[in-house]
Amino acid sequence: MTELAARNGAERAEALLRLTARLTELIRSETQMFQRRRPQDAVALQDEKSKLANIYRSEVARARSEPTRFAGAPAPLKNTLREATVSFHAALAENSRAVTAMKVITEGVVRAIAEEAERQRSTGHGYGPGAAQRPQQTRGLSIALNQTA
């Protein structure tokens, strides 16, 4: 389903308002999980969020190409929908900041692990006055990072 079920502009506006409110709620919940450094908890939201985001994207595109889609919707309802859209965009911006912060933190942790692994590989071997550092072997160091956000 990529289109809201509605018989007229007022019903369509009401349905889009409900969709926008739910999507905003999901985005805010996900953002809180990211801010608490619990991104794994957000996995449970992904299916619903993806489905609703696809419907939202489709409806917004249709509204742009067909300005009469919301004809007949009362002005107060249209204003409420505009306000909900502003809140949705604010929630998206906050979510983007949280994702960026998590990415920076994750990259820092990976970099620190790689630097420590390299430091441990290049330390001297042996004991006593005649101990010498072995020539550094040129073997690879592997680190895997899942960059799903």
- Containing 16, the helix (H) or strand (E) segment is helix 9-35
| pLDDT(23) > 90 | yes
Structural domain includes residue 147: no
> How many Cβ atoms sit within 10 Å of the Cβ of residue 132?
8
What CATH number corresponds to the domain at position 57?
1.20.58
What's the structural domain count of the chain? 1
- Does residue 5 sit in helix, strand or coil? coil
Residue 59: give the domain boundaries. Answer: 9-109
Is 2 a residue whose pLDDT tops 70?
Answer: no
Angle between helices 9-35 and 46-65 (to 10 degrees): 140
Mean confidence (pLDDT) of the chain: 86
The answer to whether residue 78 is domain-embedded is yes
* Whole-number pLDDT of residue 55: 95
Express each pLDDT in 110-124 by its tens digit.
898 988 888 877 655
* HSE value, Cβ hemisphere, 13 Å, CA-based, for 61: 8
Q: Evaluate whether residue 63 is within a structural domain.
A: yes
Average pLDDT of 67-78?
92
Residue-level pLDDT at 118: 83
- Residue given tokens 């996900």 in the structure block: 30
Distance spanning both ends of the chain, measured CA to CA = 25
**pTM, to two decimals:** 0.73
Residue 95 clears pLDDT 60, i.e. is over it: yes
- Is the pLDDT at 70 greater than 80? The verdict is yes
- Any idea which of 62-66, 76-80, 144-148 has the lowest mean pLDDT? 144-148
